Amino acid sequence: MFRGSATQKFSPSSAFLSSQHRSGLMFMYAVRAEEPAVETAEEAKEPAEADINELCKDMFNKMATYLTGELTATSEDYKLLENMNKLTSLKYLEMKDIAINISRNLKDLNQKYAALQPYLEQINLIEEQVAALEQAAYKLDAYSKKLGNYCPLLLLALNVAPCEGI
């Protein structure tokens, strides 16, 4: 299970100590140059109880600080969402008021249009009558021009003075 480094060079007269960490414990073993296949291991001493307690306290304090930070960040996120929801609901209330005002104004405009409808119909009727009168005036003008062309000939035939100003 324990092995020395494969890249180490051994001299025939030397013996030295090597160490490896396994599952948090440190093992010491001796590697002899004369017997490269034989290894012996010794378990390293554990740290003192006070050191372990101090390290545990430090770890728990740091973990508590980390978790407090995470919970604070999450809490701040929820507060931000709550504020955004409040602002959104206020905006929707404002939009609702605007929509109600628009609806009310539209109803007023429809009532005014309904009140003006008879007058608008009269205006349309007058417009049609004006168009008919305009057509009659064009026809009368055309007829009078034709009549003006015949007037001198007619007057000559009747021996009357020519029409002037027509």
**According to the per-residue pLDDT averaged within each range, which of 15-24, 25-34, 38-47, 101-110 is highest?**
101-110
Is residue 7 very low, low, confident or very high in pLDDT (cuts 50, 70, 90)? very low
Strand, coil or helix: what is 160? coil
Q: How many CB atoms lie within 10 A of CB 141?
A: 10
Which pLDDT does position 51 carry in this prediction? 87
As a whole number, mean pLDDT of residues 71-99 equals 98
Which pLDDT does position 72 carry in this prediction? 97
Q: How far apart are CA 44 and CA 19, in angstroms?
A: 9
Tell me which of 22-31, 80-89, 148-157 is least confident: 22-31
What does the mean pLDDT of the chain come to? 79
pLDDT digits (tens, 9 = 90+) for 38-67: 667 777 677 677 788 999 999 999 999 999
Residue 122 has pLDDT above 80, yes or no: yes
Which pLDDT does position 34 carry in this prediction? 56
Which pLDDT does position 149 carry in this prediction? 76
Contacts of 34 (CB under 8 A, 6+ apart): 12, 15
